[in-house]
Structure 1
């Protein structure tokens, strides 16, 4: 997602998606599956100042379908899935865990 005043941050996120796809193609012949988890707004130490600002918090909460920050434990299911045999045919995929951030 593009975000105003966050160009370096959002550019790095896009780079990770493309790097995931390129590495997936390079490493698949060696049976190495490369995928990415793309989290939405999670309440991390980096985001505490945003969470404490009324205006910014309202923007973030209004931008997710679940109308809340994600909690770090909510990423673990995606990570476990990608590390399991259930994802043995996934390569170059981007798994979004964002509370509906990109659905809006």
Structure 2
């Protein structure tokens, strides 16, 4: 009875959106646990105290995605924005 209520085609986009959100959260959690220089999981690393690891912190903050978007325009669809806002562009 409950499966006929929730397994409908109208609910699939909701499942997809929630799945993507959970995936992004999980990816961020794994990234923080594995690569964050301030997170120490093992007992040996926790006993080291506060470390001055500036190079490791810089590598964590300047990840590949940030380097990829650094020199790009902050627009989601620049061609569509240019089409509707720039009158000098020729139309097809």
User: Over alpha carbons, which structure has the higher Rg?
Assistant: 2
Q: Same fold (TM over 0.5)?
A: no
Q: TM-score, normalised by structure 2?
A: 0.28
More strand by share: 1
